[in-house]
Amino acid sequence: MPVMTYREAVAQALREALDEDPRVFLMGEDIGPYGGAFAVTKGFWDQYGQERIKDSPLSESVIVGAGVGAAMAGLRPIVELMTINFSLLAMDQIVNHAAKIRYMSGDQFSVPLVIRTVTGGGASVAATHSQSFEGWFASVPGLKVVVPSTPRDALGLFRTVRDLEDPVIFIEHILLYGTHGEVPDNGYKIPLGKAEVTRAGSDVTIVSFSRMAQVSLEAAEELAQEGIQAEVIDLRTLRPLDADTMVESVQKTHRAVVVEEASGLGGFGGEIASQLQERAFDYLDAPVRRVSGEEVPIPYSRPLELLAIPDAHKVAQAVREAINR
C-alpha cells in the first residue's frame, strides 16, 4: 500500500471533497495563499480559487456561524479552526446552533458542516494553544466527534463524515501531521462508532484515542519485552462511542487502563472507565486505571511540558500496577 503522512492524508481527503462535490468549499484563517497553519491546504488557493477556498478574518464565531448558515442553505462547508483552543470563541455557534438546529427544527433543517481543528500539546506553544477539548465536544448531543490517529484513519473517516447531514468536529493532533502510515488506494471508508484493536493481547486492555493511541502502542511494545501482552484499542471516534469493543476486550483480559492527554478531572477517560465498570464489572480483576495529563496548564518550558503529558513509560507503569495489584 502507498505510504503517506498524516498531513498528506488530510489534504487528499479535502481535495477529494472539493473535486467530487461542487457544494463543498473550505473556509478558515490563513488557509488561502499561506497554505494553512499546518500546511494542509498548501496549493489549494491556486488550484481551486477563492470561491472554493475562503481565507477568513480572525473571528472563529464568524467562521463557524457562516458555516452553519451555508450548511442550512444547502452547501457542504468544511471550516477550519486553527486550533481547538480557538473553538472557545465559537462555542455558541457550535453547541447552541450547529448541534441543535436539526432537532429543534423538527428535521426541517440539517447542518452538514465539518469543523476541522487541531488538538493537543507537545509543540511548545504554551498553555492557551496546547489544550485537548475533544472530550468537551463529545458530551454534546447532536455533534459527531472524530479523533483519527493514523493517516489511514484520517482519510477513511473523513470520507465518511463528509456525507453526513449532522455537524462533525474532526480533530487532528498537532504532533501527528508528520507521522507516516500505509493508506489503501481503493477508495475505502471507515464507519463512525467502530473502534479498532490495533494490537492483540491477553493480559490487559489499553483504551485510548488520537495521539495517545500511538503512545499506547509504544507502551505495549515496551511491556512485551517483559512478557506482558497488552491489547490496544484505538477508539477513533468519541461520539458515537464504541463501548462494545472495549467491553469484549476486557472480558478477555480482565484488566483495563484508559489513556488520554487531557487532565483527568472531568476528562473523557472517566466516561470510558465508567462504562467499563458498568458493563464489565464481573470480568475485572482490578480497578480500571487511568493515565491522563497533569492537573496544570500545559507549560511553555519544554522539560515541564513533557512531564505534563502522558508518555509510553507512564502508560507502561500503569499497566504494571494494574497487573501486580
pLDDT tens-digit readout, 299-308: 999 999 999 9
Residue-wise pLDDT for 196-251, tens only, equals 999 999 999 999 999 999 999 999 999 999 999 999 999 999 999 999 999 999 99
Region 139-151: mean pLDDT is 98
Residue type at 130 in one-letter notation: S
C-beta separation of 216 from 259 below 8 A: yes
Closest by Cα among 62, 31, 30 to 48 = 31
Enumerate the active-site residues. 60, 129
What's the rounded mean pLDDT across residues 6-24?
98
DSSP of 202-220: SSEEEEE-THHHHHHHHHH
Coil, helix or strand for 153? helix
Spell out the alpha helix ranges (H) of 33-81: 44-48, 60-72
* Domains defined for the chain, CATH in brackets: 3-182 (3.40.50.970), 196-323 (3.40.50.920)
The pLDDT value recorded for residue 106 is: 97
pLDDT at 191: 97
Label residue 1 by pLDDT band (50, 70, 90).
confident
Q: Are 302 and 124 in contact (CB under 8 A)?
A: yes
Number of neighbours of residue 87 by Cβ within 10 angstroms: 24
Say what percent of the chain tops pLDDT 70.
100
Percent of the chain with pLDDT over 90: 99
For residue 46, how many other CB atoms are within 10 A of its CB? 11
Distances (CA, A) of 108 to 72, 73, 100: 10, 12, 12
The pLDDT value recorded for residue 43 is 97
CA–CA gap between residue 54 and residue 63 (Å, rounded) = 10
The model's confidence at residue 63, banded by pLDDT at 50, 70 and 90, is very high
> How many other CB atoms are there within 10 angstroms of residue 82's CB atom?
21
Strand pairing category for 180-182 and 3-5: antiparallel
CA distances 304 to 121, 129, 175, 310, 312, Å, are: 12, 15, 17, 12, 16
pLDDT category of residue 156 using cuts at 50, 70 and 90 = very high
**What are the pLDDT digits (tens) for 169-182?**
999 999 999 999 99
Burial of residue 187 (CB within 10 Å: 0-12, 13-18, 19+) is: exposed
Cβ density class 145-177: b for 16+ within 10 Å, e for less: bbbbbbbbbbbbbbbbbbebebbbbbbbbbbbb
Give the amino acid at 145.
Answer: V
**Per-residue DSSP letters for 75-91?**
-EEEEEESSGGGGGGGH
Q: How far is CA 196 from each of CA 181, 237, 261, 308, rounded to the nearest angstrom?
A: 15, 10, 19, 27
Q: What average pLDDT does range 27-55 have in this prediction?
A: 97
